[in-house]
Amino acid sequence: MSEPIIEIKGLTKYYGKFCALKDVNLKISRGKVYALLGRNGAGKSSLIKILTGFEDPSQGSAKIFGTDCDSLPPEFRATIAYLVEGQYLYGSMSITELKNFSRPFYKNWSDGIFDKVIKYFNLKTKSKIGTLSRGQRAQVYFAVILAYSPELLILDDPMLGLDTAARRDILEVIVSLIHNQKKTVLYSTHILNEVERVADEIGIIDNGKLIVNCDYTDLIKQYSEIRIDKNSHVDQLNKKFPFILSIKDDFDSFKIVVKNENEDFAEKFKNEDVKILSINKMPLENIFLELTAEKYSGSLYDIL
């Protein structure tokens, strides 16, 4: 097994008395796409700020290429691309001027790759950056990234606010990097349906803790959703069966979420006066919501 590109051990971060990250441990191997998910305020941004050297950990360590993130030498930093939503580019420059400006900063810069990407996105090289749409600016930024061929891409919600077509185009770039160049990607996003296409591994942060850290396929296998008839008796089910995570009133049926249970549910519920309507694997978005949703008292249906 190859050495990890990113290795985090016991990472804890305090802002005053507030604990933003608590004892986070993870490894990301070369050529993998690691999707980092979490609700707003869960700790994703704090972790990325530490990895990119903008923050120091309170405890523990975070390393890239085997070196502490706060002391990465320039030659290592030149092999890392950091892309955030609303990335800044000099608006007064044309695309060609941006290419000429960027070239001296990267020893592996390729005009050929930059030009091909710009042509692929049907952008005019004389266009001023400031006149481009948000999606087009993101495309230009990706052209810069591809032109200097980084080993690691850290993407912090880069497609937030982009329209569907622009997100699709950027996703195609990520897919190409994965398959053709075996780049390593840490991808933090709120757009979960796009994660499902590219992610090898999933991390879910909730209240500063890494509550999920596993292969995407393993995560999907673990959870199922059972629909049962509304007339079924469900009051004691979650007390009897520890594999049940939740039971919710869902309009015309009850929805039961279960984890790590491969046995015959019909047989399990045989003596429980339960009529099963369907059993399905859960998509990533439903799993994410199940694990991170705030728990409220009562039912919204009763309130409204």
Lowest mean pLDDT among 60-69, 154-163, 211-220: 154-163
In this structure, the answer to whether residues 280 and 143 fall within a common structural domain is no
Amino acid found at 197? R
Q: Average pLDDT in the 115-136 region?
A: 90
How far is Cα 25 from Cα 61, in angstroms, rounded to an integer? Answer: 9
| Three-class DSSP labels, the chain | CCCEEEEEEEEEEEECCEEEEEEEEEEEECCCEEEEEECCCCCHHHHHHHHCCCCCCCEEEEEECCEEHHHCCHHHHCCEEEEECCCCCCCCCEHHHHHHHHHHHCCCCCHHHHHHHHHHCCCCCCCEHHHCCHHHHHHHHHHHHHHCCCCEEEEECCCCCCCHHHHHHHHHHHHHHHHHHCCEEEEECCCHHHHHHHCCEEEEEECCEEEEEEEHHHHHHHEEEEEEECCCCCCCHHHHCCCEEEEEEECCEEEEEEECCCCCHHHHCCCCCCCEEEEEECCHHHHHHHHHCCCCCCCHHHHC
In this structure, the answer to whether residues 58 and 184 fall within a common structural domain is yes
Residue percentage of the chain with pLDDT more than 70 = 91
Handedness of CA 238, 243, 246, 249 (dihedral sign): negative
CA 280 from chain center: how many Å?
Answer: 24
How far is Cα 174 from Cα 87, in angstroms, rounded to an integer? Answer: 17
Tokens of 300: 């919204």
- Does residue 164 form part of some domain? yes
Amino acid 37: pLDDT:
93
Instruction: Identify the CATH number of the domain in which residue 233 sits.
Output: 3.30.70
Instruction: Identify the CATH number of the domain in which residue 144 sits.
Output: 3.40.50.300
In this structure, the answer to whether residues 203 and 225 fall within a common structural domain is no
Residue percentage of the chain with pLDDT more than 90 = 41
Q: Which residue has the tokens 């090289």?
A: 125
In this structure, the answer to whether residues 138 and 187 fall within a common structural domain is yes
Residue 18 has pLDDT above 50, yes or no: yes
72 contact partners, CB below 8 Å, separation of at least 6? 53, 64, 65, 80
Domain count, the chain: 2
In this structure, the answer to whether residues 165 and 187 fall within a common structural domain is yes
- Does residue 94 form part of some domain? yes
Handedness of CA 149, 150, 153, 158 (dihedral sign): negative
237-274 per-position pLDDT tens digit: 888 888 888 888 888 899 999 988 766 777 777 778 88
Amino acid 85: pLDDT:
66
79-92 per-position pLDDT tens digit: 898 877 666 788 89
From 172, 207, 242, give the residue that closes a domain: 207
From 152, 185, 207, give the residue that closes a domain: 207
Q: Average pLDDT in the 4-10 region?
A: 95
In this structure, the answer to whether residues 188 and 270 fall within a common structural domain is no
- Does residue 212 form part of some domain? no
How far is Cα 267 from Cα 270, in angstroms, rounded to an integer? Answer: 5
In this structure, the answer to whether residues 43 and 128 fall within a common structural domain is yes
In this structure, the answer to whether residues 84 and 200 fall within a common structural domain is yes
- Does residue 98 form part of some domain? yes
- Does residue 215 form part of some domain? no
Amino acid 295: pLDDT:
54
From 175, 207, 239, give the residue that closes a domain: 207
Q: How far is CA 148 from CA 66, 185, 216, in A?
A: 22, 15, 29
Tokens of 158: 């880069």
Residue 179 has pLDDT above 90, yes or no: no
Expressed as residue numbers, the domain containing 232 is 220-303
186-233 per-position pLDDT tens digit: 988 877 877 887 889 999 999 999 999 999 999 999 999 999 998 888
User: Would you place residue 49 in the very low, low, confident or very high pLDDT band (cuts 50, 70, 90)?
Assistant: very high
How far is Cα 44 from Cα 203, in angstroms, rounded to an integer? Answer: 10
Q: Which residue has the tokens 């008839």?
A: 229
Residue 296 has pLDDT above 70, yes or no: no
User: Would you place residue 159 in the very low, low, confident or very high pLDDT band (cuts 50, 70, 90)?
Assistant: low
- Does residue 129 form part of some domain? yes
Q: Average pLDDT in the 60-71 region?
A: 93
User: Would you place residue 17 in the very low, low, confident or very high pLDDT band (cuts 50, 70, 90)?
Assistant: very high
In this structure, the answer to whether residues 94 and 194 fall within a common structural domain is yes
Amino acid 297: pLDDT:
47
In this structure, the answer to whether residues 194 and 67 fall within a common structural domain is yes
In this structure, the answer to whether residues 187 and 232 fall within a common structural domain is no
- Does residue 192 form part of some domain? yes
In this structure, the answer to whether residues 230 and 118 fall within a common structural domain is no
- Does residue 246 form part of some domain? yes
